[in-house]
Amino acid sequence: MSPPLRAALMVTCLGDMFYPEVGVKIVRLLRRLGVAVEFPSGQTCCGLPLFNSGYHREAAAIARRTVALFRDSEHVVVPSGSCAWMVKHEYPGLVGEPGARREAEALARRTHELSQFLVNVLGRTRFRSETPGRITYHDSCHLLRGLHEASAPRTLLGHLEGAEFVELPGSDECCGFGGSFAVRLPEVSTAVLDKKLANAEASGAGCLVACDAGCLMQIRGGLARRGSRLRALHLAEILGGDV
């Protein structure tokens, strides 16, 4: 019998501090699927907020730090498309000298956003839904356009037993988070969010699923303020036992 697959969880700074239950669910889910889960302590943030705002020297330092922390991981699983994108797309160019670059490229190859890991690496697509009824999905920008991933989440959500998946109109439109954008231009960010929430309400779904903590923070923040009955969940929160 071959040794179990090893995966290190990169829980992300938002995940660690604001949505720890998502991390917990992922650990339990992966273990149920036979994956040995590791958690390199000392991880903090992938550096995307620094990178996006132009603080590249600082972002590079964080990148080098992160590459070192995950050096020995067989796979790295990330619950946010934006952080996965940062590692896979920007780290190699950011870290500096050629040796570090090679390591960053190796890390990029071993890093996967959660839905990609489940579908493409583990080949698992069928799960029971933790929430019955109609569900819909918001494509987070970095997962969709950065990592070119539209199908893995839909495969998982489409096969959910006990739930009915419907497409969200304008699913590929930004939710308005954009990191610091949400507080630099809060009025525009909110107007964009309003469009997203209107589409979500119109879809008739009881639950909106996303694969990014930033999107969830924005969407949940708006839903709560409006007292909406619509729930916004991370993918990990809706995947129950496998079928």
Partner 1 sequence: MREMATSFRDRAGHALRDGFLQEALTIATTKFKELRREAFEDFPEGEALRDRAREIKEATLQRLDHHLERLVESVERVGGHAHYATTSEEARRIILDIARRTGARMAVKSKSMATEEIHLNEALAEAGVTPVETDLGEYIIQLAHERPSHIIAPAIHKTKGQVAELFARELRRQVAADPEALTRIARDELREKFLRADLGITGANFAVAETGTVVLVTNEGNGRMVTSLPRVHVAVMGLEKVVPSLTDLMVFLAILAKSATGQKLSVYTTLIQGPRRAGELEGPEEFHLVLLDNGRIGQLAGPLRESLYCLRCGACLNVCPVYRQIGGHAYGHTYPGPIGILLTAMQHGIGSVKDLAHASSLCGACADACPVRIDIPKMLIELRREIDERRIAPWPERLVFALFARVVGSHVLYRLAVPIARLLQRPLVRRGTIRRLPLGFGAWTRTRDLPPVASRTFRERWRELERE
Q: Which residues bind partner 1 (CB under 8 A)?
A: 11, 13, 15-20, 23-24, 27-28, 31, 39, 41-45, 47, 49-56, 58, 61-62, 65, 141-142, 145-146, 172-174, 176-193, 217-218, 220-222, 224-225
Diameter over CA atoms, the chain: 57
CB atoms within 10 A of CB 125: 15
**148 CB contacts (<8 Å, ≥6 apart)?**
none
Smallest gap, in angstroms, from Cβ of residue 21 to partner 1?
Answer: 8
DSSP bridge pairs for 239? 129
Q: Of 118 and 197, which CB lies nearer to partner 1 in the complex structure?
A: 197
Q: Of 19 and 163, which CB lies nearer to partner 1 in the complex structure?
A: 19
Under a CB-based contact definition with an 8 Å cutoff, are residues 16 and 26 in contact?
A: no
Q: Of 161 and 167, which CB lies nearer to partner 1 in the complex structure?
A: 167
Smallest gap, in angstroms, from Cβ of residue 14 to partner 1?
Answer: 9
* Residue tagged 């019998």 (tokens): 1
Q: Of 186 and 204, which CB lies nearer to partner 1 in the complex structure?
A: 186
Q: Of 102 and 184, which CB lies nearer to partner 1 in the complex structure?
A: 184
Under a CB-based contact definition with an 8 Å cutoff, are residues 75 and 121 in contact?
A: yes
Q: Of 11 and 238, which CB lies nearer to partner 1 in the complex structure?
A: 11
Q: What share of the chain is helix, strand, coil (3-state, %, to 5)?
A: 50, 15, 30
Under a CB-based contact definition with an 8 Å cutoff, are residues 18 and 217 in contact?
A: yes
Smallest gap, in angstroms, from Cβ of residue 105 to partner 1?
Answer: 19
Smallest gap, in angstroms, from Cβ of residue 41 to partner 1?
Answer: 7
Smallest gap, in angstroms, from Cβ of residue 7 to partner 1?
Answer: 14
What is the number of H-type helices and E-type strands within the chain? 14, 9
Smallest gap, in angstroms, from Cβ of residue 74 to partner 1?
Answer: 17
Under a CB-based contact definition with an 8 Å cutoff, are residues 83 and 46 in contact?
A: yes
Q: Of 158 and 221, which CB lies nearer to partner 1 in the complex structure?
A: 221
* Residue tagged 């501090």 (tokens): 17
- Burial environment of residue 72 by CB neighbours within 10 A (0 to 12, 13 to 18, 19 or more): exposed
For 127, list phi and psi in degrees, rounded to 5: -135, 160
Smallest gap, in angstroms, from Cβ of residue 157 to partner 1?
Answer: 21
